[in-house]
Structure 1
């Protein structure tokens, strides 16, 4: 907390700086709040465009933004396209939920990973399919056709969802795979978490995967998902945070926490990341801009964490924040530490 407060008040140069970022829609509600509060505290304006994780990765590689944002870390292969070393820091943990619109169903439906995979493979076509009704005894589910909603843009939320499905369904892994953009067997596409939520909200019989806050903001029902321990878990901050407990966090923080072995974990959870260059001297960037970015990232991972839980994201655990601090302290400008 003290680090975050110190970073906000460090120097007047940063207070005259505008920073730009682009990427994931997954954390957009959180970032909107963080950046508004940060501007009030520091005078720094942060212009963030919610354009999807794929676009965020592309823009940071092209150096058209100060930072990119992505729900999945970039692979070593993807980072080869960058002109210099990229760093990742997580800012929150979020949950991806199966939101649906099934008239007459008032209690949360239960799903297994295999059933979700079969819905998105187009094998389960109606809501009263035996695979769904068997998981939900006593619930009257109408014989309504399923409308599959999914992302049409390069999406970290898609990566997280497909990463989970690939771990629980060999057929999904072999036929569709894992990625930000996929060759979908079925479904109606939309841009952003808000676009998928919009399809679900307006379409009786629809199902879509969205970050938890988008389901809540749109008042969409969402189901519980069976975790690796066999427990059906409804997404919330606690179960999302539990997904990161007991996981070895590497020094660069790039890690998958889907299908966690923690018995209390919600299984479709992920860190969301900010991506930036270790050495900040490139293009027309000034040292003041470099310091302003470091201060912002320090705020987001310390003082700014107070906004995570009220907006339905889990805070970073202590074993992650210590690694974040080390990463931020490695930032340089022209080879000199900032």
Structure 2
């Protein structure tokens, strides 16, 4: 039996680890062959509801048996597709990740929740902004511009992050909102697909700030801010 799944990049590492372990208990020969395609929450939901086959580069076209999404199905989704069901499978964290040259292991970059909201709506633009400096007297913060990186695709990770920022600051909720789309306040943001794309950009770009799941940040060796 072959089971094909896809969707959110948030839980991709967990699903791959689980299916890898499962393969030892139930070998492919005469057992179950499971694969997971990390394509993003929005793409996963579209893929499962329209029943379409997807061609992923050199891989053969496949039809999903189940999908994963960090963003919840809406009432209209359930009304349009009454046979859909959503079940929780894991919990995780979304964290602000950054790249500050000279930042040493063991140091902490402190940010308040409202300050993170201001940065991601474009109200705070430089690392030496007085609001950042005032709560980080232990750090020599540069006068460089903050290079923001966000998701380019429809993303459950983005929805989780935006919902938190909207709760932290009413102005963020009004100007940016809490959807999973790629709309942000600042116009000069860099966009990358999947959590791995954001993490890779931040890791290779001095003065960058982005967001990703905690597991991806650790895999990339990136520091993350303390709120």
- 2:157 paired residue number: 157
- Residues 245-299 of structure 1 show CA distances to partners (whole Å, capped at 9, x for unaligned) of xxxxxxxxxxxxxxxxxxxxxxxxxxxxxxxxxxxxxxxxxxxxxxxxxxxxxxx
The aligned runs of 1:1-338 (5 Å cut-off) are: 17-42=1-26, 43-63=31-51, 64-82=63-81, 84-106=82-104, 107-186=107-186, 187-225=189-227
- Residues 98-117 of structure 1 show CA distances to partners (whole Å, capped at 9, x for unaligned) of 11001122212111121111
Q: Partners in 1 of 2:84 and 2:178 — Cα distance?
A: 22
5+ unaligned residues in a row in structure 2: which ranges?
52-62
User: Size of the alignment, in residue pairs?
Assistant: 208
Q: CA deviation at 1:59?
A: 1.2
Contact 1:57 1:68 survives alignment (8 Å): yes
Q: CA deviation at 1:150?
A: 0.2
Q: Partners in 2 of 1:46 and 1:19 — Cα distance?
A: 5
- 1:234 paired residue number: none
Contact 1:176 1:182 survives alignment (8 Å): no
- Residues 156-195 of structure 1 show CA distances to partners (whole Å, capped at 9, x for unaligned) of 0001000101111111111111111132222110000000
Contact 1:61 1:81 survives alignment (8 Å): no
Normalising by structure 2, we get a TM-score of: 0.88
Q: Describe the SS at the equivalent of 2:165.
A: helix
- 2:57 paired residue number: none
Per mean C-alpha deviation after superposition, the further-off stretch among 176-185 and 25-34 is: 176-185
> Root-mean-square deviation (CA), in Å?
1.2
Normalising by structure 1, we get a TM-score of: 0.60
Q: Which structure's residues are more often strand, by fraction?
A: 1
Which of 1 and 2 has greater Rg?
1
- Residues 37-96 of structure 1 show CA distances to partners (whole Å, capped at 9, x for unaligned) of 1122123111211000001111111134111101122111233332x3221111111100
5+ unaligned residues in a row in structure 1: which ranges?
1-16, 226-338
Contact 1:96 1:157 survives alignment (8 Å): yes
Aligned structure 1 segments of 4 or more residues deviating by more than 3 angstroms = none
Q: CA deviation at 1:155?
A: 0.4
Q: CA deviation at 1:205?
A: 0.5
